Structure 1
Amino acid sequence: MAVDIASIDTPVLVGVSLLVLAFLIGCSRGRDTWLFVDFLATAAFGLAWYFVPDVILGFQINVTPDGTHLTYSRAFAACMIGDAVTRYFCRSSKDASTLVYLLFSRIVGCTILIVSMVYIQYFGGNTWTQNHIFFGMVGNMLWMMGSVIYYYQSRYSGGHAQLESRLNMHLRFDGFLVLVIGLTIFGFPDLFLKIQTTLESYDGAHLHMARSTGALLIGSSILSFMAPGFLFDWDKRAIFVGRIVKLFLTVLAVLYAAAKYDAWGGNLHLYFLMESIVALNALLGYYAPHETERYKSN
């Protein structure tokens, strides 16, 4: 379990050094700066995982990435990009609840992701290299620690009085749907792989990328559950915007995989049914009136 520094690629060490520097700068400039750094990091790494997954994944594993590796990497990336979209719109919110729960949801998602990383690195076979420890684990811990610092510095724990409304109902339902999907993928990644592919066996990279997607979905569901307590309707609707972006990118990745890779294409109707339910709820929620919109000031 010891880390062999000599086995770490030099570009990875340089990259980690830059990540540490960005973390120190971002954390030293206050919560608003950290939230902006968090948005930039989420968007940048999400785009990298989506468009060049073979590069990002390739130097962290001991096997040649196949179509399933790449597709689940893109699903993981879609979660990051969708999350970045939500954070772009919410990071400047004047509602303290919104900012506190942005931090808290990040902590939850990253914590679960770290658990999966530690398990697959040390107890899940030898698929992942030492590069994964530095690029993956260290990077994710820094990603989480900034949110931990500012979450526990917050004097306000968040939350406002919630009235019954269609918008809040759809947010709660979104949280429930995404939580169930996230928990299922995280707990039973082989089930999703069996449904979506014709692979007869799965390596550590297959299982971990599926679990990583589940971890981010669980973190995202927390934000949806907390959002009915947000003060402003545009902060609430930002969650649905991010969800729709995530779904669009994931469906594109799955359609591409079904057309390009022989192992993909089985039972896709079940997958699209699941995503359609989430998408329909997100659209209905986005266009639902907020409870305060019915009141007009004279």
Structure 2
Amino acid sequence: MVDDLIFSVRDAVEPGRSRFTFRRVGLRTPYRGIRSSAHAPAPDDLRSRVAEYAPRLRAGQFFSHETSLGLLGVPLPPFPYLPGIHVSAHRPGREPRVPGIRGHRLQTRDPMIVQTAEGWPLEHPVRAWRQCAALWRTDDLVAAADFLLTEMRPAIDAEELRAEVARMGDTSGRVLTRALALSRHGPRSASETRLRLLLLRNGLPEPEISWVLRDAHGRFVAELDLAYPSWKVGPEYDGRVHAEDMRQFARDADRWDAIRDCGWEHVRILHHHMRGDGALAVGKVRAALTRAGWRG
């Protein structure tokens, strides 16, 4: 997109210059009043989709809900879910009414706008997370909260999320309250969060997160995504395509050997184990715990 041109016709038209000047071959009209020389973005390319609407933003409008979170790097619900473009304004401002854009007129309160490197105004991630309660499932809200608590900079703590829910309210099903009760500091990926929730939901003990494994001499061996120290079982989600990087695969294989040399059972959970109800993933971890002496 570096060489692509995206602009508002209203801002580009010089006094006395006809708008017909901009009706030239090669320019698309993604939204009324916007011209773009870029190819139409893919449905899952959120940043490119936002770039095509950004020139239409009016004073007081900003990207919100899942749009804000996605642009900040917060994990979104997995494919085939595709995020919408949400644009909000606080009363008495007006939300946009544009086909393909989900406009929201929010109640009056002091804005807490953050900006992207492109200068796009975004809803604060704490507020955007609460706004997603009407859009996402509980597990997706937990994965986003885990990211906010672990990776977001400036740092966000759980009390900020709780305070936002207390001030602005929860949904009828108290989905935000339930998501907060399940969220934890430490997960490095949404897949790790979903695996942890899957194990809990199926009656397995709650694992430790980012557990540091050391050998008998106290030397660092590995940081395990999830771990059951009492049974020396370490489940980990492995979503990488190692065939594309054989050196990384070799390093990982050595790491797995080092974990086993410490007397631990390392349980690799792959993408296909998590499909459907995740029974394959649960079965692998349950079997490892049972072999280690866990009795439920």
TM over 0.5: no
Higher normalized strand content (fraction of residues): 2
Q: Which has the larger radius of gyration?
A: 2
TM-score by length of 2: 0.30
